[in-house]
Amino acid sequence: MFIKKQFTWLLLLLCSHIGYAQNNDCNFMINGRLIDSDTQLPLAGATVRIMPANRTVKTDGHGFYRLSSLCEGTYTLSFESLGFEKTSRTLNITKNETLHIALKHGDIVLHDVEVVGHQNNLKTTSVVNSLTQQQLRESKGGVLAEVLKEIPGVTMLQTGATIAKPVIHGMHSNRILMLNNGIRQEGQQWGNEHAPEIDPFVAKNIRVIKGAESVRYGAEAIGGVIIVEPPTLPINPEIHGEIDVVGQSNGRGGITSAMLNGGLKKIPGFSWRAQGSFKRLGDIKSADYYLNNTGVKEINYSASLGYKTSSTQFEAYYSHFETELGIFNGSHIGSVEDLQSRIENGKPFITYPFSHTIEAPRQEIKHDLLKLKAHRDFTNGAQMDIQYGLQRNLRKEYDIRRGGRTGIPSLDLELTSQNLDITYDHLKENGLRSIIGVNLAMQVNNNIPGTFATPLIPNYDSYNAGLFIIERWVKPTYEIEAGIRYDYKYFDAAGYRLDSIYYAGTRTFHNFSGSLGATWHVHKSLDVQSNIGLAWRPPSVSELFSYGLHHGTAAVEIGNDQFKSEQGLKWMNAVKFQLPDFDLELDAYAHYIKNYIYLQSTGEFWESLRGAFPVFHYKQTNALFWGLDLTGSYQLTENFRYTIKGSLVRAKDTRRKNYLPWIPSDRVENALRWTKSRQKRHLNNTFIQVQHQFVTRQSRYEPNTDFAPPPPAYGLLNVMGGLGFRFNQQDLNFQLGINNLLNKEYKEYMNRFRYYAHDMGRNVTLKLNYIF
């Protein structure tokens, strides 16, 4: 009821603002394109300023700009781009106007100016939410899933205190596609406790596409897409950088990160970037006891080289991600009786003192990524990208074993992935944009011998090919997009089950995907979006062939090699309203998936020399998901701003009329932020924020289908404050935060270790950020 009242209040407030806004009849528009007068190539990122409206826009990746919602009158437009002469034009607006400008080269001296290279310009009618630079800065130190929680509709699936992966509208793992610097992230993402091998410190932009984007990105985008992008490469010779230091009380450790980038005076157009981070944490503490063996050790680094001319760009990128994660020791239990007693108790019978030591059960993961990319701009406004990606993922999982084998991994996997992507993107002056692409992929997965254990998944080879076409029609008051794609997948696997039965065979999967969407610019303050996507997903290797103990989750998982491909239809809608003192976005969606695959507890236990473990079976049915996401804010006074975020998701098995397991509970966040409005000369980014997060009990579940009922609802109080200093183009920012201020003992339904322990207690963080 509390959540429903807050939704209703904001919707009424939205209606009142819309009534005010629609009284304004200023609906004229100026659009056009900026090009280089010598090469006739488009100028991306140029500044277009209009007076007296006092508005500024940037040209997109093809040099196009648009200024909408203008009243009748006389305006002066100025056009600027680094290295070109500033140009101005005066127009008397009585109707929509088109104005193209060719800028001439000028003589300039670079001083404290950072020029950046090409970056993909994401245009889609799907609902896209981006994290602001402020949100990225304030969330530094968290894993990727924690960072993404800032976006309504995105939650986490946890395995204890150290492992988390993002969930979008109830979807996760192989239903969420991640792009790491433009490369499709390929690891062992089928595992619920296999977190993404991505360092959030490398990210300058993080975006989430909530619609089914299989046409543009491929089959695994049935549930959404997460795009992580590093900063664009500079091309000026000046060296710039950023240093971050984060310390936290819970875990008694911290993270350091550094990034440098620049160019070479002797080689115009050449650029480089180097980055690295180190993380070390010990045992995490709940409200009143330590979760033993939950430490983390992580080291990551990356480097990038680029070369840019007026019409071409080449980029080489390499990153290395390496982590060692402790798995909560209390999740591995000796007998069925002990396991049932632990679940009934809900917390460990024995607690241990704090330690930084990481012992079995634990995980060791290494992930290497190499990217090579060539970009070309053509004089007709088109562009082409050719991109190659090579990834190598090494995963070792260690268990407590007898006979001196604890130091030998129980699971030892090596996955090599290669991708080749070619896209041709042509934006025409009439507003029609055509995108044609080809995606090729190959994977080879091998179990490394010597584990003395039956592999959970088989060795396999996988080959994928996809072809897509997208057409976009952009007009002053609306945008329409349609796309179609065909994918083919060949899969060849061989392995042994837990009962030593050998299996082998090939499977082929193929299907079409499609999308149709539109954006309606109702008013300068109001946009309405609607997108419907037809998507599909072949079963993952674990869903088909797993038959054994999964050490990371401390559970036995059993697949089914007769599963069919999932086929989904998702309808996504959004209303976005923005005024200077008020903004609101409401997203509504419905997602039907035929042949939906999920992991269901059997209520049984499997006992061996290693201990007792709960048994889960993969099942297939038809499912319907629907839900709402809400975010809004209101400027109460000059200094105070109120923000609300909320989400709810419903999911049912339409075949059996049952609720589906592992669906996020309803949640709402309220925050009040004070910002110093009149900053002093050297003082900026001064703020204090109080936030309350309320999560309801998951009441939509089937009794007797889980080892324990969903935990009670809980509320967390968090506070945060910061201030910054600026001297000679350098910034120094400090931030102090306390999560779970009241040290509340609680359990999150989406934590797979909630059977055995509580979630994290109070955590004090201190962050330092230096930009130079």
Quote the radius of gyration of the chain (alpha carbons, Å): 27
Helix (H) or strand (E) holding 224: none
Q: Which helix (H) or strand (E) holds 137?
A: helix 133-138
Domains of the chain, by residue range, sit at 29-103, 128-427+437-466+485-511+522-771
Cβ-count burial of 551 within 10 angstroms (0-12 exposed, 13-18 middle, 19+ buried)? buried
**Burial readout 27-50 (b: 16 or more C-beta within 10 A, e: otherwise):** bbbbbbbbbbeeeebbbbbbbbbb
Residues 6+ positions from 430 with CB-CB distance below 8 Å: none
Measured in whole angstroms, the distance separating CA 54 from the mean position of its chain's CA atoms is: 34
| Three-class secondary structure of residue 609 per DSSP | coil
Q: What is the pLDDT of residue 574?
A: 96
Which stretches of the chain score pLDDT less than 70? 1-25, 38-40, 61, 82-83, 106-122, 334-335, 429, 551-552, 609-610, 679
Tokens of 334: 């000796």
Dihedral, CA atoms, 342, 344, 346, 350, nearest 10 degrees?
-40
How far apart are the C-alpha atoms of 467 and 241, rounded to whole Å? 40
Q: What distance in Å separates the CA atoms of residue 398 and residue 415, rounded to the nearest whole number?
A: 18
Q: Using alpha carbons, select from 75, 54, 65 the residue that is nearest to residue 32.
A: 65
Nearest 5°: the CA angle 195, 196, 201 is 120
Partners of 669 in the β-ladder: 645, 693
What per-residue confidence (pLDDT) applies to 4?
53
| Residue from 470, 481, 593, 599 nearest 529 by CA | 481
CATH class of 29-103: mainly beta
- Candidates 1.50.10.10, 3.30.70.260, 2.40.170.20, 3.10.129.10; CATH matching 128-427+437-466+485-511+522-771: 2.40.170.20
pLDDT value at position 3?
Answer: 54
Instruction: Provide the β-strand partners of residue 585.
Output: 576, 631
Which one-letter DSSP state was computed for residue 361? Answer: S
Task: Give the residues across from 590 on adjacent strands.
Answer: 571, 626
Q: What distance in Å separates the CA atoms of residue 530 and residue 226, rounded to the nearest whole number? A: 20
Residue 274, classed as helix, strand or coil, is: strand
Q: Which residues contact 769 (CB under 8 A, 6 or more apart)?
A: 137, 140, 242, 243, 244, 731, 732, 733, 734, 735
Residues 6+ away with beta carbon under 8 Å from 119: 61, 229, 232
Distances (CA, A) of 39 to 32, 34, 102, 310, 438: 18, 12, 10, 8, 29
Instruction: Determine the Cα–Cα distance for residues 552 and 193; give it in Å rounded to an integer.
Output: 6
The DSSP symbol for 88 reads E
Copy the structure tokens of residue 399.
């268990």
Instruction: Look at the chain and count its residues.
Output: 772
Strands 547-550, 555-558: pairing is antiparallel
For residue 306, the tally of other CB atoms under 10 A from its CB is 25
The torsion angles phi and psi of 430, rounded to 5 degrees, stand at -80, 5
> Residue 19's pLDDT is what?
46
One-letter amino acid of 295:
G
